[in-house]
């Protein structure tokens, strides 16, 4: 979202995390802007029974965890590396200076946050009022068209595992597996070497 060179110019440092490392924890105070150079990060919570609920998954060139940074509040979720991951971390004060000096970037950050709020609203609606097949297809279409902007049919590969989709949409993994097989029968998705394409 913000050019790597500009982040480094303002004092960002590269940090490496191994798979399953925690980047920050729920209730920590936000002190850094995080942007992914390589790898995948999830934001999640665990309920009292230890069941995971995934709030979001973020990929190369995406940032995560900004709202608490701007609101001076604690994180509502954990951030964990799904794969080995390299992140640029920029201290909060340096980020604010960068945004003040670069209003076009500030606008882009605002747009990205607005898109994330829109996504959260869609997911909340899907979870509360639609059947599993509709939820899964709507989620995949959001990733295909809004995040990765891949309009061609069956050109978009879903990077999320079936378990991650289940955790994001409040479904059981068995339900997601069944739904994806049904969508393949309806020619809505293709499955090649266990990968889902839309």
pLDDT for the residue numbered 119: 76
CA–CA separation, 37 and 87 (whole Å): 5
CA 137/CA 107 separation, integer angstroms: 30
Q: Mean pLDDT score of the chain, rounded to an integer?
A: 91
Q: Which of 37-41, 52-56, 126-130, 153-157 has the weakest average pLDDT?
A: 126-130
Q: How far are the Cα atoms of 36, 54, 108, 113 from residue 103, in angstroms, in the given order?
A: 22, 32, 9, 15
Average pLDDT rounded to a whole number, residues 136-163: 89
Cβ atoms of 183 and 197 within 8 Å: the answer is no
* pLDDT (average), residues 72-97: 96
Q: Tens of pLDDT along 29-54?
A: 999 999 999 999 999 998 888 888 88
The residue count for the chain: 198
CA distance 103 to 114: 16
Asked if residue 107 has pLDDT above 90, the reply is yes
Residue 119, both tokens:
């996504």
Angle at 49 between CA 43 and CA 55, to 5 degrees: 15
Asked if 1 contacts 88 with a C-beta cutoff of 8 angstroms, the reply is no
* Domain range annotation of the chain: 4-102, 130-197
| Best CATH choice for the domain 130-197 from the list 1.10.10.10, 3.10.450.50, 1.10.287.70, 1.10.150.20 | 1.10.10.10
User: Considering the chain, what percentage of its residues have pLDDT values greater than 90?
Assistant: 67
Q: What is the CATH number of domain 4-102?
A: 2.60.120.10
- Residue 55 has what pLDDT? 86
Is the pTM higher than 0.85? The answer reads no
Q: Residue 148: its pLDDT value, please?
A: 81
The answer to whether 70 touches 4, Cβ cutoff 8 Å, is no
Q: What is the pLDDT of residue 52?
A: 86
Among the ranges 61-65, 90-94, 116-120, which has the highest mean pLDDT value?
90-94
pLDDT of residue 4: 95
């Amino acid at each position: 979202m913000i050019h790597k060179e500009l982040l480094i110019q303002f004092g960002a440092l590269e940090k490496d995390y191994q798979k399953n490392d925690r980047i920050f924890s729920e209730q920590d105070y936000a002190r850094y802007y995080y942007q992914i150079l390589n790898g995948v990060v999830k934001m999640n919570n665990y309920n009292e029974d230890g069941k995971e609920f995934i709030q979001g998954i973020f990929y190369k060139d995406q940032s995560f965890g900004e709202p608490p940074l701007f609101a001076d509040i604690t994180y509502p979720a954990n951030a964990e590396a799904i794969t080995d991951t390299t992140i640029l971390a920029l201290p909060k004060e340096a980020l604010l200076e960068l945004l003040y000096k670069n209003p076009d970037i500030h606008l882009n950050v605002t747009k990205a946050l607005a898109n994330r709020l829109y996504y959260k609203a869609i997911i909340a609606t899907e979870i509360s009022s639609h059947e599993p097949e509709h939820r899964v297809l709507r989620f995949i279409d959001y990733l295909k068209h809004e995040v990765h902007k891949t309009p061609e049919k069956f050109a978009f590969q879903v990077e999320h595992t079936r378990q991650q989709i289940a955790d994001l949409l409040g479904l059981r993994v068995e339900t997601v597996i069944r739904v994806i097989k049904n969508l393949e029968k309806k020619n809505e998705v293709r499955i090649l070497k266990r990968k889902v394409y839309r």
